[in-house]
Homo-oligomer: A and B are copies of this chain.
Amino acid sequence: MKIALDVLGGDLAPMTNIEGAMDYLNEVGDAAAELILVGDKKVIKSALQSYTYNNSKVHVFHTTEVVGMHEKPSRIFKEKPDSSLVKSIQLVKDGKANAAVSAGNTGALLTSSLFLIGKIPGIRRPAFAPFIPSSKGGFILCDAGANADSKPQHLVQFALMAGAYMEHLEKRPHPRVALLNIGSEKNKGNELTTATYPLLEKLVDNFIGNIEARYIMEGKADIIICDGFTGNIVLKLTEGIITHLMEWVQGLYYNQSDDDDLSSEFLSVLKEIQNTLDHEEHGATPLLGINGVVMKCHGSATSRGISNSLLAAQKTVEENLIADIADRLSQHKALFERDSKIGETNPV
């Protein structure tokens, strides 16, 4: 197996990405995939000199072009075909890598993957499905921003794709699927959610109904489905509030505390929470619906984040996630096509 790593993508690139790659190889040992480091040959070779590693597992694909985090993503694959981000995806398309991993511009990664690799047959929209940790075990949020506007049909496919992801990668069989909504009753919600509810009820195993945002951290659902606009708000708000609250607690505590000895227990509490909530632990998430394994790391991924992302990519390839998603879709094909016509003639 070969995994292409976008060495130039992410806030801490390139050194952190290289460090993460070395950590991955040394932790996994013989079972590790071979890595194709996509970036500046000179920088990579120079950096590698400070590591001890199995060099038969490391290949370098030279390029120096970078995609900025705030570049308009829609035409990156045409305007920057030589960028490390686009080249990493190209390697998957050409069958030279089994997976691509990048901490770069999310929109560019998505549009380039769509253009170069395309969607799994039958999938209408790809989805971004991060794992959100909590003290009660966490959940997958889907879609968290691959799409700005969604239709009921799309949400049903998000649920099927996220189900496959959850079962394979997180090893939770029969995950409970909930629809994010502004009330728990079936008839509550906006045009999109009220039209989506009956479809999820009919087509998705273990659909447990609506969930209100107040309860998403409480471990009542394994998968939470919503449109990409709402999901992106939820993802960023969750990160923002947790950061805000943790900084606030620490600031107040240090203001009030005269005695340095007092803070050891307090710090260990904060540490435990931060470790549980840390997105680095889960590494990258696959871009669901793309007909190949493309994994997105957090933009500020540390070396541990990169290392865990390479592990996640390896697992995604080994577990055959793409084939499983295709299989699940085909199982629902008859129902789906009938419903999709209804959905298409009555778009939200």
- Which chain B residues lie closer than 8 Å to A180 at the CB level? 233
Complex CA–CA separation, A70 to B186 (angstroms): 13
Q: Are A216 and B240 in contact (CB under 8 A)?
A: yes
Given contacts A244-B134, A265-B262, contact A233 B236 (CB under 8 A): no
Binds B, one of A95-103, A169-177, A207-215: A207-215
List residues of chain B with CB within 8 A of the CB of A206: none
Q: Is the Cβ of A240 less than 8 Å from the Cβ of B253?
A: no
A217 within 8 A of partner (CB) = yes
Instruction: Decide yes or no: A269 and B241 within 8 Å by CB, A145-B182, A182-B232, A229-B190 being known contacts.
Output: no
Decide if A239 is an interface residue (CB 8 Å cutoff): yes
Q: Which residues of B contact A213 (CB under 8 A)?
A: 232-237, 240
Bound Cα distance A228, B135 (Å): 29
- Chain B CB within 8 A of A344 CB: no
Q: In the bound complex, do residue A256 and residue B268 qualify as a contact, i.e. CB atoms below 8 Å apart? A: yes
Contacting residues of chain A (212-248) with chain B, CB-CB under 8 angstroms? 212-218, 227-230, 232-246, 248
B256 touches A269 (CB 8 A): yes
Chain B proximity of A209: nearest CB distance (Å): 15
Do residues A245 and B230 form an inter-chain contact, with CB atoms below 8 A?
A: no
Contact B239 A214 (CB under 8 A): yes
Please tell me if the beta carbons of A265 and B237 are within 8 angstroms of each other in the complex: no
A324 at the interface (CB under 8 A from B): no
**CA gap between A135 and B250 in the complex, in Å:** 12
The listed residue with most B CB atoms (<10 A of its CB), out of A228, A236, A237, is A237
**Nearest Cβ in chain B — how far from A267, in angstroms?**
10
Q: Please, how many angstroms separate the alpha-carbon atoms of A215 and B237 in the complex?
A: 8
Taking the nearest CB of chain B, how far is it from the CB of A92, in angstroms?
A: 27
Interface string of A117-148 (1 = CB under 8 A from B): 00000000000000000110000000001001
A232: chain B residues at CB < 8 Å are 182, 213
Complex: how many Å from CA A92 to CA B183?
29
Give the docked Cα–Cα distance between A266 and B257 (Å): 9
Bound: A216/B234 CA distance, A: 12
Task: Contacts A213-B237, A237-B237, A256-B269 given; indicate if A218 touches B190 (C-beta within 8 A).
Answer: no
Residue A191 at the B interface, CB < 8 A? yes
Residues of B within 8 A of A242 (CB): 241, 245
Let me know if A273 is at the binding interface, CB within 8 A.
yes
- Tell me, rounded to whole Å, the shortest Cβ–Cβ distance linking A338 to chain B: 27
A27 within 8 A of B: no
State whether B182 touches A229 (Cβ < 8 A). Answer: yes
Within the assembled complex, what's the spacing in Å between the Cα atoms of A297 and B283?
42
Contact flag A240-B265 (CB < 8 Å), given A135-B248, A190-B229, A233-B234: no
Minimal Cβ-Cβ distance residue in B for A149 = B190
25 A-B pairs with C-beta separation under 8 A: A70-B185, A134-B244, A135-B248, A189-B229, A190-B227, A212-B236, A213-B234, A213-B235, A213-B240, A216-B237, A216-B240, A217-B241, A218-B240, A230-B230, A237-B237, A237-B238, A238-B241, A241-B241, A248-B273, A249-B249, A253-B265, A253-B269, A256-B265, A257-B265, A266-B266
A contact residues vs B (CB 8 Å cutoff)? 70, 134-135, 145, 148-149, 180, 182, 185, 189-191, 193, 212-218, 227-230, 232-246, 248-249, 252-253, 256-257, 262, 265-266, 268-270, 272-273
